[in-house]
Amino acid sequence: MKLILTLTLLTTLLISCAKNEAGPFVEPNNGCDTTDLSFNVEIAPILQQNCVSCHNSPQNNGDFTDYTTVKALADSGILWQRVGVQKDMPPTGPLVGCTLEQIEAWINSGAPEN
């Protein structure tokens, strides 16, 4: 009986310590969500806004509303090469901040369609 009481006390103490140490939840990257990114939810709107005016058909630099086209460019490294390394796409000025971080994270996570 004494042992159970001691164990209960110790456990309670441990839990309260752990809680204090955890502190407030700090969001990474200043609120830029770079986890579980989806082509349909985060990436397609970025491409729509910055790329599709030019990239809108297979004859016209590739159709970037088409997942398969973008996936192939992501997997080959060409997408990141132009957007993140050479930074010459879009030609009007490079993507920056959260938009660029999300493209990078999406490519690094295997460019999923989900």
Binding-site ranges for ligand HEC (CB under 6 A): 50-51, 53-55, 61-62, 73, 78-79, 82-83, 89-91, 95
| Shortest distance, position 64 Cβ to ligand HEC, whole Å | 7
| Shortest distance, position 37 Cβ to ligand HEC, whole Å | 15
Are the beta carbons of 111 and 83 closer than 8 angstroms? no
User: What span, in angstroms and rounded, lies between the C-alpha atoms of 101 and 80?
Assistant: 11
Contacts of 28 (CB under 8 A, 6+ apart): 34
Which CB, 83 or 111, lies closer to ligand HEC? 83
| Shortest distance, position 59 Cβ to ligand HEC, whole Å | 11
Q: How many other CB atoms sit within 10 Å of the CB of residue 58?
A: 10
Which CB, 33 or 87, lies closer to ligand HEC? 87
